[in-house]
Amino acid sequence: MTIQILMPALSPTMTEGNLAKWLKKEGDAVKSGDVIAEIETDKATMEVEAADEGRLGKILVQAGTQGVAVNTPIAVLLEEGEDDSALAKAAAPAPAPAAAPAAAPAPAASASAAAPAPQAAAAPAPAAQGGGRVFASPLARRLAEQAGLDLKAVKGTGPNGRIVKADIEAAKAGGTAKAAAPQAAAPAPAAVPAAAPAAAAPAPKAAGIDAKDLSDKLGMRYKAQPNSSMRKTISRRLTEVQQTVPDYFLAIDCELDALLKVRSDLNARSKDYKLSVNDFIIRAAALTLKKFPNINAAWSEEAILRYDHVDISVAVATPTGLITPIVKKAETKGLAEISNEMKGLAERARDGKLKPEEYQGGTFSISNLGMYGIREFAAIINPPQACIMAVGAGEQRPVVKNGALAIATVMTVSVTVDHRVADGAQGAEFLAAFKKLIEDPLSMLL
């Protein structure tokens, strides 16, 4: 039985992606878990694993194809013993029918969604679905039938709870699945040609002046750089924020001299870490947010969501655009742990190797442009978060201390806050509390 490999959904919000590269070629043997392709999403390039075993019979979507819709057939896998003549019988995947008392005819080919490369461990979902449907690979079904196992009693560990070969072998070894009830054989339907991937609908033009149309009319010369999926996503999300989120802006100056001394002393104590000023900023923000749950929050029409943990999204510039990897449960982590974790996240971000769970979500964002000498700027909120912090450069400025003029290293920090979630006074109290921690860094170590 041929198996169609489908374009996988690598995140809950993914609707399409670019097929960047095939790592297997037609005729190659494929095992469950083998990395077969690389898919470019709107934020990263992800490795994709096969969920079934066999031989890669035909590639339907070539490398470099953009805008491939989720669940589009991208390749056909031949099971053991099948030859290329079976490719002509490969059927296009159809939507799953509603459950009915009578058994439906088995299709000539089944669809197999490719699985993303291993991510954060999750508890396997039960294989049985509503209406009595069971999601299992063709190989797993055949092995279960040979072993007399009831697939409804087997828990799947494949993508979205799909039952794979390893689950059947585990059930056989553990004796946990009861014998399957015999089923009457159903006739196979006539074969139909494999469906070609549907072309993505052109995106509607944004309102306002179209730069390309105007440049063409005026005869202006230019080099067109096609927009990447990431750039399109950034454009869409930021436009949405500017149109829908009523925000306000606050700024405060923080003296850094005490922090810089503590940082220098701590870095001299160990070679296991190298603390940056940004690590102190993340730590101070996390501790302050725990005291201000109305800032560590998000707006919904039904309620304001106040999050139990502080997951800080930190803006990282990459060759393809901005991405915000997340330091999760930052309020529970010390400076050294934050520093080492952030270095790993930033490196994977620049290499395009972040997993979706490493950049999706977050409860608060930090954007630091201080390394470019920027004194102060207003950042745009990262939806659905309620607040983003913008950090400027630390620089020597004149200050007044005890009635006398002095020089101090000063950093301007600002926040952009969703007014629906927190009023101006709450934003000001949060920023003042953050400043207190920055100027008394030893209190972060307690």
Beta-bridge partners for 347: none
Q: What is the pLDDT of residue 236?
A: 85
Mean pLDDT is lowest, of 170-174, 264-268, 284-288, for 170-174
Q: Is 1 helix (H, G, I), strand (E, B) or coil?
A: coil
What is d(CA 220, CA 214) in angstroms, rounded to the nearest whole number?
Answer: 9
Confidence of residue 191 (pLDDT cuts 50, 70, 90): very low
Of 158-172, 354-368, 393-407, the range with the lowest mean pLDDT is: 158-172
Please tell me the chain's helix, strand, coil percentages from 3-state DSSP, rounded to the nearest 5. Answer: 30, 25, 45
Q: Which amino acid is at 382?
A: N
CB 67 within 8 A of CB 42: no
309 is catalytic: no
Give 353 or 2, the one with higher predicted confidence: 353
Instruction: Tell me how far apart the alpha carbons of residues 251 and 391 are, in angstroms, rounded to a whole number.
Output: 10
Tokens of 7: 């374009």
Predicted pLDDT of residue 247:
95
Every domain range in the chain assigned CATH 2.40.50.100: 3-174
Give me 386's structure tokens.
């309620």
**Cα separation, 37 vs 22, whole angstroms:** 4
For residue 290, the model assigns a pLDDT of: 97
Q: What is the DSSP letter of 136?
A: B
Inter-residue contact 329 to 310 (CB < 8 Å): yes
The beta strand positions in 331-380, using DSSP E, are 364-368
Which of 327-341, 343-357, 426-440 has the least mean pLDDT? 343-357
Mean pLDDT of 191-211: 54
Beta bridge partners of 40: 18, 45
pTM recorded for the entire structure: 0.62
Nearest Cα to 3, choosing from 146, 165, 125, 152?
Answer: 165
**pLDDT score for 139:** 67
- CATH of 3-174, picked from 2.60.40.730, 3.10.20.30, 1.10.3720.10, 2.40.50.100, is 2.40.50.100
Residues 207 and 273: their CA atoms lie apart, in Å, by: 49
- The 8-class DSSP code of residue 313 comes to E
> Which stretch, 104-113, 121-130, 360-369, has highest mean pLDDT?
360-369
Burial category of 184 from C-beta neighbours within 10 Å (exposed 0-12, middle 13-18, buried 19 and up): exposed
User: CATH assignment of 245-445?
Assistant: 3.30.559.10
Q: What are the phi and psi torsion angles at 316 (to 5°)?
A: -130, 125
Check pLDDT > 50 for residue 399.
Answer: yes
Question: Rounded to an integer, what distance in angstroms lies between the CA atom of residue 358 and that of residue 34?
Answer: 22
Distance from C-alpha of 157 to C-alpha of 121, rounded to nearest angstrom: 11
- What CA–CA distance (Å, rounded) separates 415 from 81? 63
Alpha helices by DSSP H, 106-205:
138-147, 165-174
- Where does the pLDDT of residue 90 fall: very low under 50, low under 70, confident under 90, or very high at 90 and above? low
Percent of the chain whose predicted confidence (pLDDT) is above 90? 42
Kindly state the DSSP code that residue 296 receives in the 8-state scheme: S
- When pLDDT is averaged across residues 411-423 and rounded to a whole number, the result is 97
Which residues make up the CATH 3.30.559.10 domain(s) of the chain?
A: 245-445
Question: Could you say which of 419, 428, 433, 444 is catalytic?
Answer: 419
Q: Residue 165: its pLDDT value, please? A: 75
How far is 152 from 160, CA to CA, in rounded Å? 15
| Highest-pLDDT range among 71-85, 146-160, 197-211, 292-306 | 292-306
**Residues 177, 171 contacting (CB under 8 angstroms):** yes
Cα atoms found within 13 Å of the Cα of residue 425, Cβ hemisphere only:
0
Q: Is the model's pLDDT at 416 over the cut of 90?
A: yes
User: At 38, which helix (H) or strand (E)?
Assistant: strand 35-40
Query: Would you state the pLDDT for residue 14?
Result: 77
pLDDT attached to residue 292: 97
Dist CA 397 CA 32 (whole Å): 61
Report whether pLDDT(117) > 50: no
Query: pLDDT band for position 344 (50/70/90)?
Result: very high
